[in-house]
Amino acid sequence: MCFPKSGFKTINAPEVFEEGRFEDFKKGGYYPVNNGEVFGSKYQVVGKLGFGVTSTVWLARDLKEHQYVSLKIYKLQEADWEEFEVYKRLNQGNSSHPGHGHVRKALGMLTIPRVGGDHYCFVQRPTWESFGDLLHRNPSHRFTEELLKAGLMQVFLALGYFHAECQLVHTGGGEKDTSILDMFAKAEIDNPSPRKFINDAPVYASRQLGLLKRFRDVVLGDFSSAVRGNMTRNHDAQPNVYQSPEIWDLFEGKHMFYGNDPDGKGYSTRAHLGEAIGMLGSPPIDLLERGVRSHEFFAENATWKSSVAVPQYTSLERSEEFLEGKNKDMFLVFMRGTLQWRPEDRKTASYWMILG
């Protein structure tokens, strides 16, 4: 593929733009990728898919296998080795498991040499947008009932493989459609992405993939926060407001818990716990006995001792706003199956798959 060297919009110098906002970029920490560049003697960059605090992500064409891949190019001498180990375990799992095809795999890893230090790069099959991106495209910022059902069934398959076959826990979807990737490449050639130059290093605008004609395969991805499931953990598994079922956010268009402390300083554990107690009731004593911080919030008899009041008159029934009748009852049964204080009491993905 030949990519134009001119004809693109140049972003004004003062404008904050993509990864150019990060100090590490200004220090030369990001690899200055250009469209048309070839890595590993086979992967030609087609266009930019996104960026983050540790990497940029690009659509590329495998010139030998004649297929598209995505390249996650890490900052200078930085790579998430734990994530790579997770992918190794996923690749070694039981390929006959029905969830095997719904978990994103790594095709490989390569090193991009550069004066001053090398950059590491994950090679993967490209996927369409995440559920979060899809929400932003939807004017209502929530999933329809049909979309939620279709997506969840495939997520359960993926989680069943992830948990049972690989003994891993996902704590952080896509769709395979080559025509969308072809359109992406053509758009990048016909209408090159805007870009900005900082100390001669290019910063490309990320380009959205086209809309799908229909919703098909969902894959579980982004394993940067995944951990081994056969080891005891005591860290925060997710961002503060997502320490509750994200399924609720997808369908209701709001968080179940916010954790805003009445002291006005933002999120706090005590406010989050108070909301959870208001919704679920008090946690069982045996669970509190396991917690290393239980004494901060509960007395010895398991009563709440924090100065933050537990919200009154809250319930799942009152909080759910979009369903009625049998469908609402079924959804709340599902939510209660996941909203259990004890981890061992929570219904598994396999349980919901069997239930259908």
Alpha carbon distance 54, 97 (integer Å): 32
Q: How does DSSP classify residue 333?
A: H
Residue 107 sits at the vertex; the CA angle it makes with 101 and 109, to the nearest 5 degrees, is 145
Residues carrying an active site annotation: 177
What is the rounded CA–CA span in Å between residue 73 and residue 113?
12
Distance of CA 208 to the CA centre of its chain: 17
Distances in whole angstroms, Cα of residue 106 to Cα of each of 141, 173, 198:
31, 15, 32
Residues facing residue 112 across a β-bridge: 119
Give the single-character DSSP code of 311: P
Separation CA 185–CA 216 (nearest Å): 22
- Residue 125 sits at the vertex; the CA angle it makes with 213 and 226, to the nearest 5 degrees, is 105
